[in-house]
Amino acid sequence: MGRPAKFTEERILDAALAIAAEDGPGAVTMTAVGARLGAPTGSLYHRFGSRDLLMARLWMRCVRNFQQGFGTALRAGDAEAAALHTPRWCREHPDEAALLVLHRRRDLAAKWPAALSEDLSALNTEVIAALDAFTAAHPRIDRERLVFAVIDVPYGAVRRHLMARRPPPPQVDDLIKATCRAVLSLES
């Protein structure tokens, strides 16, 4: 029986995220992550195989973390809460938000690992299902309007603040809420 791993996958991903937040995703190397953790680089390669796999898993973890609250709000039939999830999540998870909003997936990993292709294709399945369920339950709301109100507007509203390395201010929530209500014709 082998020894339990000293560094969990979560700790390794947390270290990679911290490096990306401080110095950008390009600074995330196996050597840098190992140094931050006090772990041998070889053990990181044993766990992840490559930097691309490490970064891909980090990106996917960030997406899944974000999507949980978003999907929950949509499944509950609350488009406004889904729209407001974005700025609130960005305030609570600034490093993850910056990684997702400011860097394209293809820029984080030079080559997307084939081993994750199924995970990647399944990544948005829950969100698509939540969007489908919402539009089925609210037939007067067009899916394109829903996507604009709960995805496009919040993303655009937080992006410039994250680019300036600051959290979205509270008034962003008011603007997103007003836009969501106007686009979806929700009552105040």
pLDDT tens digits in sequence order for the chain, 188 residues long:
556 567 899 999 999 999 999 998 999 999 999 999 999 999 899 999 999 999 999 999 999 999 999 999 999 999 999 999 999 999 999 999 999 887 776 666 667 777 777 887 788 888 999 999 999 999 999 999 999 999 999 999 999 999 998 999 999 999 999 999 999 986 54
pTM for the whole structure: 0.87
Helices 9-23 and 30-37 meet at what angle, rounded to 10? 110
The CATH T-level fold of domain 1-49 is Arc Repressor Mutant, subunit A (1.10.10)
Domain segments of the chain: what residues? 1-49, 62-184
Residue type, 1: M
Rounded Cα distance, 120 and 115, in Å: 10
Token readout for 51 is: 């930097």
Is residue 4 within 8 Å of residue 40, measured between CB atoms?
Answer: no
| Cα-Cα-Cα-Cα dihedral sign, residues 24, 90, 69, 153 | negative
